[in-house]
A and B are shown apart, each in its own frame.
Chain A
Amino acid sequence: MIAWITAVAQAVLVAAVAPLLIGFMRAVRARLEGRAGGRLVQPWRDLRKLLRKEPIIPADAGMIFTAAPLVLMATSVLVAAAAPYLSTGGPLSGVADLIVVVGLLLLGTVALALAGLDTGTAFGGMGASREMTIAALVEPTLLLAVFALSTRVGSTDLGAIVAAGAADPAAVFTPASALAAAALAIATLAEAGRLPVDNPATHLELTMVHEAMVLEYAGRDLALVEWASAMRLTILLGLLANLFIPWGVASSPHPAALAVGAAVFVVKLAVLGGLLAAGEVFVAKLRLFRVPELLAGSFVLGLLAVVASAVLA
């Protein structure tokens, strides 16, 4: 029972924090660009307004277009509840392992790509094709990078990996972990659609990946897509944080431990988000045909991490 309550609290926390993380990253970027920038709660204001507006379904779109925002949101909420963010003892431990989490994330990606195709517009199809190209290269890296950690623990269960890390932090800082962290960081950038793979602030349709698929969404549907996308960034950054900086994650279902876990989780997210936003000021978007080179590089890092963890362990 307590494990289920923890899972719900986790999902609510991720859903509540995700727009604030976007607001924080925009603020960091604005500060470095010499602007004043918007408020931290601006993404929440945007969502509140969008939720009140009417959704528009294009004349050529079918059921997939209507269903995709719900699928995307549902997968995000499920991952947010199942993955070890506050506590390592989730209600679905043994089921909600790495492969399920990656599969759920991919399900959301595919739903949105199909929705992009479903609109029948040129840009929607282009965005979907690009997103699938990137997803096909990113998902193996996501799996491989965490496999490098799971060989140490002997399980693909994310909760078990984080618990082992929290119990013995010294074991986390190995060459294999460093390689896996680098691979997972690059995969996170690509999966969440951040620079240098995709520019979330672009207005030029020819350079869009994620944006091109959601160009036709309006009102409530757009709010769900934006909210779920923010949650996916939070989910991936949270995984990165808890797998490689495992301190503060509650190992017991005690309320105080969970509160500390929540506070530490938010701080970790803020630090990673701040670093990501600051880093984005210094890089330009990669040309689309150079992206596979970057992702192949991250895959090699993941492969080296697995080899290193098998050989050096």
Chain B
Amino acid sequence: MGLIGKIRDAGRVAEPAPPQPEQGLPAAGLGGSVQVRHVDAGSCNGCEIEVGQAFGPTYDAERHGVRLVASPRHADVLTVTGPVTVNMAGPLRATYEAMPRPGLVVAVGDCARDCGVFAGGYGVLGPVSDVVPVDVQVPGCPPEPAAIVAALRGVSGR
């Protein structure tokens, strides 16, 4: 039995969760439930791989009550990666405005914070904070999945 055998051999892949982070946003009032909408505003996709890992089996952000959703209307948190390009500034703003309040923005990666290596590029408008208000920043190029999970746990409070 192929798949059953693999499920048995793999067992539990998830690594033990680190202790709950100290910093939190009590004002968010989300009570251990965070729905995340992800926007790539012009990233090189390095950060996307790490965000994907954060929701994969090893880091498993879902055990902390964090879930990716398909619509900004369902989301509490917007994760944004990459420097905001000229073409993505409008869609990013529209996505932020489509979220119900209170909505938080997490800027993931160095590019989202200060444009990183893309600073000064002809297609780059600026960092994420120039377009939408940023509540949490995750440094790194790219940031480790564990750092992304820790930032999202800080928002969810779990």
CA–CA, A45 and B68, complex, Å: 15
**Segment with Cβ contacts to A, from B11-19, B106-114, B133-141:** B11-19
Whether the pair B74, A218 counts as a contact (CB closer than 8 A) is yes
CA–CA, A222 and B33, complex, Å: 14
Which residues of A61-117 have CB atoms within 8 Å of chain B's CB atoms? none
Set of chain B residues within 8 Å of A39, measured between Cβ atoms: 63, 65
User: Which of under 10, 10 to 19, 20 to 34, or 35 or more describes the interface residues of B?
Assistant: 20 to 34
Which of B12, B14, B57, B70 touches A208 (beta carbons < 8 Å)?
Answer: B70
Seen from chain B, the residues whose Cβ lies within 8 Å of a Cβ on chain A are 3, 7, 10-14, 17, 29-33, 35, 57, 60, 62-65, 67-71, 73-74, 76, 98-102
Whether the pair B14, A282 counts as a contact (CB closer than 8 A) is no
Q: Interface size (A, Cβ < 8 Å)?
A: 35
Whether the pair A35, B57 counts as a contact (CB closer than 8 A) is yes
CA–CA, A48 and B33, complex, Å: 9
Whether the pair B65, A42 counts as a contact (CB closer than 8 A) is yes
The 10 closest A-B pairs by CB, nearest first: A34-B13, A36-B14, A218-B73, A45-B33, A218-B100, A215-B71, A36-B63, A49-B33, A203-B70, A46-B33
Whether the pair B60, A36 counts as a contact (CB closer than 8 A) is yes
CA–CA, A222 and B73, complex, Å: 9
CA–CA, A216 and B71, complex, Å: 7
Which of A54, A217, A222, A282 touches B101 (beta carbons < 8 Å)?
Answer: A54
Set of chain A residues within 8 Å of B67, measured between Cβ atoms: 38, 46
Set of chain A residues within 8 Å of B73, measured between Cβ atoms: 56, 215-218, 222
Q: Taking the nearest CB of chain A, how far is it from the CB of B67, in angstroms?
A: 8
Can you show 25 pairs from A to B with CB atoms below 8 A apart? A31-B12, A33-B57, A34-B10, A35-B12, A35-B60, A36-B14, A37-B63, A38-B62, A38-B64, A42-B33, A45-B33, A45-B65, A48-B31, A49-B30, A53-B76, A53-B100, A53-B102, A202-B70, A203-B69, A215-B73, A216-B73, A218-B73, A218-B74, A222-B73, A281-B3
CA–CA, A208 and B33, complex, Å: 23
CA–CA, A217 and B101, complex, Å: 13
Nearest residue, chain B, Cβ from A208: B70
Q: Which of B11, B60, B76, B100 has the most CB of A within 10 A?
A: B100
Set of chain A residues within 8 Å of B100, measured between Cβ atoms: 53-56, 218-219
Nearest residue, chain A, Cβ from B6: A34
Set of chain A residues within 8 Å of B14, measured between Cβ atoms: 34-36
Nearest residue, chain B, Cβ from A47: B33
**Contact A35-B32, Cβ < 8 Å, known A54-B100, A215-B71, A216-B73:** no
CA–CA, A202 and B67, complex, Å: 12
Set of chain B residues within 8 Å of A157, measured between Cβ atoms: none
Seen from chain A, the residues whose Cβ lies within 8 Å of a Cβ on chain B are 26, 30-39, 42, 45-46, 48-49, 52-56, 202-205, 208, 211, 215-219, 222, 281-282
CA–CA, A216 and B11, complex, Å: 38
Whether the pair A52, B65 counts as a contact (CB closer than 8 A) is no
Set of chain B residues within 8 Å of A38, measured between Cβ atoms: 62-65, 67
Whether the pair B70, A211 counts as a contact (CB closer than 8 A) is yes
Set of chain B residues within 8 Å of A219, measured between Cβ atoms: 100
Nearest residue, chain B, Cβ from A212: B70
Q: Taking the nearest CB of chain B, how far is it from the CB of A42, in angstroms?
A: 6
Q: Taking the nearest CB of chain A, how far is it from the CB of B27, in angstroms?
A: 13
Whether the pair A36, B17 counts as a contact (CB closer than 8 A) is yes
Q: Which of B7, B30, B70 has the most CB of A within 10 A?
A: B70
Whether the pair B70, A205 counts as a contact (CB closer than 8 A) is yes
**Contact A34-B57, Cβ < 8 Å, known A211-B70, A215-B71:** yes
Q: Taking the nearest CB of chain A, how far is it from the CB of B71, in angstroms?
A: 4
Nearest residue, chain A, Cβ from B56: A35
| Interface contacts beyond A49-B76, A53-B76: sample of 10 additional A-B pairs, CB < 8 Å, sorted by A | A32-B7, A35-B13, A35-B60, A36-B63, A38-B64, A48-B33, A53-B101, A53-B102, A208-B70, A281-B3
Q: Taking the nearest CB of chain B, how far is it from the CB of A124, in angstroms?
A: 11
